Amino acid sequence: MAYKERCKQLKRIIYRKKKNIDAKHRDFDKLQDKIVTAEKVKPVDSATIDKLTKELVELHAYIEGMLGIHNFFVKEYQTLIAEKSESVKANLFNEMGAVISEAEGVDSDDGDSQDENDQAV
């Protein structure tokens, strides 16, 4: 898959995962509010609180799993960018090496002629 296509794909995946995580965090906050409200009601319905607490724990586990997946794609994206950066650096280094070699070749010819001129003088 081409570099740019993969970057676009990873950005989309990361964006969607982030949106889903944010939505689940809002659900989590709402569920916490329901538990607080249920605890304030007299008489306290422990079955409802237990049920809401169980849902809260499950939602928390789900969010943690989604964060793990999100982080995996973020790391993959960062690795892809770093590899491309290293590739670009290597290409530039190789090009610079070729230019330097070329320049040294030209300089060595000039240097030889100068040495000959210095010896003649």
Asked if residues 64 and 21 have their Cβ atoms less than 8 Å apart, the reply is no
pLDDT digits (tens, 9 = 90+) for 2-11: 888 888 999 9
pLDDT of 109 higher than 80: no
**CA dist list (Å): 76 to 7, 61, 69:** 10, 23, 11
Average pLDDT, the chain: 83
CA 52 → CA 18, 42, 43, 55, 59, distances in Å?
Answer: 25, 17, 17, 5, 10
Q: Check whether 121 has a pLDDT greater than 50.
A: no
Least confident of 1-10, 12-21, 46-55, 72-81: 1-10
Give the range with max mean pLDDT: 2-6, 27-31, 99-103: 27-31
What is the band of 119 on the pLDDT scale with cuts at 50, 70, 90? low
Q: For residue range 61-70, what is the model confidence (pLDDT) as tens digits?
A: 999 999 999 9
Q: Which residue has the tokens 């319905």?
A: 45
Residue 33 above 90 pLDDT? yes
Q: Which of 82, 87, 80 is nearest to 9 (CA)?
A: 80
Q: Do the beta carbons of residue 54 and residue 43 sit within 8 Å?
A: no
User: Rounded CA gap, 18 and 9, in Å?
Assistant: 14
User: Looking at residue 91, what is its pLDDT?
Assistant: 78
